[in-house]
């Protein structure tokens, strides 16, 4: 198998993306990368990251490849989870407090002890694998953020969640304890249950 065939096979098996390190592992020299770009086989999308030139750039996937600790959160995760029909104006991401991320997105930094709570695998709008927070974590974040969400959006999200077959009230209440909003969440649960 020649270099181009190896590259195309790798792209086919990896969502159409390849890093410089992966190219080198395939035995493709750095000098050959420019030839593949010139021949429109791949195009550079970020430092050290390339994609199949027939693909549409997936900014969610590219961002996650560039910053592996990024977790899509807040409005972005709610949209991906189908808990709102409002397309986010700007992508929301969460990262551990001490990690540097330079991008034009809405960045939320959290302490390490909160960062891993509720991370799940999901699919970007263009069909690539990404990490997001689950519905229960997003609802807790939403209820903790007084200025990020208007009342109408909060009500819509809670109604979508309550009508979802995937809701997990026990997990929601568990997260509410962790984030110190148990009374607020418990009151909402009681209202939704009609108690």
Q: What is the pLDDT of residues 17-68, one digit of tens each?
A: 999 999 999 999 888 999 999 999 999 999 999 999 999 999 999 999 999 9
Place of tokens 């030139």: 53
Give the length of the chain. Answer: 195
User: Which structural domains are found in the chain, ordered by start?
Assistant: 3-57 (1.10.10), 61-193 (no CATH)
**Beta bridge mates, 123:** 129
Phi, psi of 49 (to 5 degrees): -135, 135
Mean pLDDT of 148-168: 90
pLDDT in tens, 92-151: 999 999 887 777 899 999 999 999 999 999 999 999 999 999 999 999 999 998 777 888
Which residue intervals of 20-103 are DSSP H helices? Answer: 20-25, 30-38, 59-66, 74-80
Nearest C-alpha neighbor of 139 from the set 157, 121, 112: 157
Mean pLDDT of 80-101: 91
The contacts of residue 176 (CB under 8 Å, 6+ apart) are 140, 182, 184, 185, 186
**Predicted confidence (pLDDT) at residue 195 exceeds the cutoff of 70:** no
């Amino acid at each position: 198998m020649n270099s181009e065939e190896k590259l195309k096979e790798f792209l086919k098996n990896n969502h159409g993306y390849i890093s410089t390190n992966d190219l080198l592992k395939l035995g493709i020299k750095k000098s050959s990368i420019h030839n593949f770009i010139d021949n429109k086989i791949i195009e550079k999308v970020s430092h050290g990251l390339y994609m199949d030139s027939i693909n549409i750039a997936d900014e969610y996937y590219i961002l996650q490849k560039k910053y592996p600790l990024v977790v899509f959160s807040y409005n972005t995760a709610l949209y991906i989870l189908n808990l709102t029909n409002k397309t986010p104006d700007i992508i929301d991401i969460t990262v551990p407090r001490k990690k540097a991320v330079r991008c034009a997105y809405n960045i939320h930094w959290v302490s390490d002890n909160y960062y891993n709570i509720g991370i799940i695998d999901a699919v970007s709008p263009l069909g690539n694998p990404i990490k997001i927070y689950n519905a229960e974590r997003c609802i807790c974040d939403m209820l903790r953020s007084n200025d990020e969400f208007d009342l109408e959006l909060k009500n819509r999200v809670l109604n979508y969640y309550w009508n979802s077959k995937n809701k997990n009230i026990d997990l929601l209440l568990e997260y509410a304890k962790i984030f110190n909003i148990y009374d607020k969440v418990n009151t909402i649960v009681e209202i939704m249950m009609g108690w």
